[in-house]
Amino acid sequence: MSALAPVLDRIDANFDASLERLFSLIRIPSISTDPAFAKDCRRAADWLVEDLTAIGFDASARDTIGHPMVVAHHDGPAGSPHVLFYGHYDVQPVDPLELWDADPFDPTVKELEPGRKVITGRGASDDKGQLMLFVEACRAWKQVHGSLPCKITLLFEGEEESGSPSVKPFLDANSEELKADFAMVCDTGMWNRDTPCITVGLRGLVGEEVTIHAADRDLHSGVYGGAAANPIRILAKVLADIHDADGRITIPGFYDGVEETPSQIKASWDALGMTPDYFLGEIGLSVPSGEKGRSVPEMVWARPTAEFNGISGGYEGDGFKTVIASQASAKVSFRLVGNQDPEAVRAAFRAFVEERLPADCSATFEKHGGSPALQLAYDSPIVTKAASALSDEWPNKALVLAMGGSIPIVGDFKRRLGMESLLVGFGLDDDRIHSPNEKYDLTSFHKGQRSWARILAALTA
């Protein structure tokens, strides 16, 4: 704490200057998906290189098949951990421009409500504000101590908002340079304005499209109805069989690798007030359809799912046509948790379908991607130390949560570099990322800097 206190004081003293630096970065319209802004993406990368070099990092913009990667290194004390920090400098398009209250690339601070000030502009939250928190924490450490508390590598991507086509080849080509003890990812958020959180779980995904084939052509239902197999009926029965009356998935072996969430974690989730009415009410629902006996947080963060994302077959145009289709299709996605094997789940689903087909019908399948879940131990020393550090900064104790979706870069770090990732961010649900009038709370930008300084101190103590 004796080393940390003056760093926190320096962050406070530097705050106005740090805000101006963020404004300078936001003013660069680094829209990665539009080729018209390619030079601006390069400008943003060069801006970061110049700023990081000024702090003392060995920084460079690396050419890729798309926009540049910014890579920077700084040594730390002998025996200290080596961390890789990831963020992205590219932003979403601003359309529709007419819905913005002001120029999206002319950032400012405004009062959103009494006592609550926010930074406005595209990228303020996603992800320029988030990545600059860590840079400012490093700047304060260097100014106070002339060094950093550990060895740090920075990786700032320029294509996250356009599918990250360069990431995988770049990681593969530079794996030895980028490997570290663990990664830190800032592209996440807080539970609420006073409660920070750490994300330790990301669900995996398996996508499948199945087509049931019956007759060799569409049939007149008056002539063949009752005798000919109807692939829509067969498909509907197969899909209905996937869940039992209690919401459990009946595919044999599906739950292999699924572990129970620790009781103390479930208790902390129960205290969040995430009731069915609270979670589903805003979308006009109230009754959960997942596994009976599971809380809403468990259902969306820690349990696997099977969902039907689209069904087609027969006549789907206006009016009515009495036809028995020759084939029917469904798109099915599985969210995975724990140690579920995506390819084992895929194979089990296909076998499940095949076993339910009439003798003269067949099924074909199309693969739509697959990735395993990612899970840090809830009691990992990294998680425990980071949670304690966050709790010292914010009014409420830090929560340890999971996410229902995925962050692809975290999977790439695990599979390509063999690194676990610590996910900590300071965005809020109302930041309007990807939408007009994006903002970032001024408190998030200030206390986020202090939070990263505290985490660095805790992880290197």
What pTM was estimated for this model as a whole?
0.89
pLDDT in tens, 110-141: 999 999 999 999 999 999 999 999 999 999 99
Span 80-105, average pLDDT: 97
Span 361-375, average pLDDT: 94
Find the length of the chain. 461
| CATH 3.40.630.10 domain position(s) in the chain | 4-202+373-459
Span 433-458, average pLDDT: 98
> How many whole angstroms separate alpha carbon 328 and alpha carbon 3?
66
Q: Are strands 327-336 and 204-213 parallel, antiparallel or unpaired?
A: antiparallel
Q: How confident is the model at residue 1 (pLDDT cuts 50, 70, 90)?
A: low
Average pLDDT across the chain, whole number: 96
Q: How confident is the model at residue 86 (pLDDT cuts 50, 70, 90)?
A: very high
| pLDDT at residue 56, rounded to an integer | 98
Domain 204-258+304-371 has CATH 3.30.70.590: no
Residue range 4-202+373-459 forms a domain whose CATH class is alpha beta
Q: Are strands 374-375 and 197-202 parallel, antiparallel or unpaired?
A: antiparallel
| CATH 3.30.70.360 domain position(s) in the chain | 204-258+304-371
Contact 300, 202 (CB under 8 A): no
Backbone CA torsion sign across 54, 56, 57, 58: positive
Tokens representing 99? Answer: 């819905």
Determine the distance from the C-alpha atom of residue 109 to the mean position of all C-alpha atoms in its chain, rounded to a whole number.
27
pLDDT in tens, 2-25: 899 999 999 999 999 999 999 999
- Residue 305 confidence (pLDDT) above 80: yes
> How many whole angstroms separate alpha carbon 328 and alpha carbon 242?
17
pLDDT in tens, 168-188: 999 999 999 999 999 999 989
77 CB contacts (<8 Å, ≥6 apart)?
A: 147, 149, 150, 460
pLDDT in tens, 240-279: 999 999 999 999 999 999 999 999 999 999 999 999 999 9
Q: What percent of the chain has pLDDT over 70?
A: 100
Angle at 363 between CA 358 and CA 367, to 5 degrees: 155
pLDDT in tens, 283-300: 999 999 999 999 999 999
pLDDT in tens, 40-67: 999 999 999 999 999 999 999 999 999 9
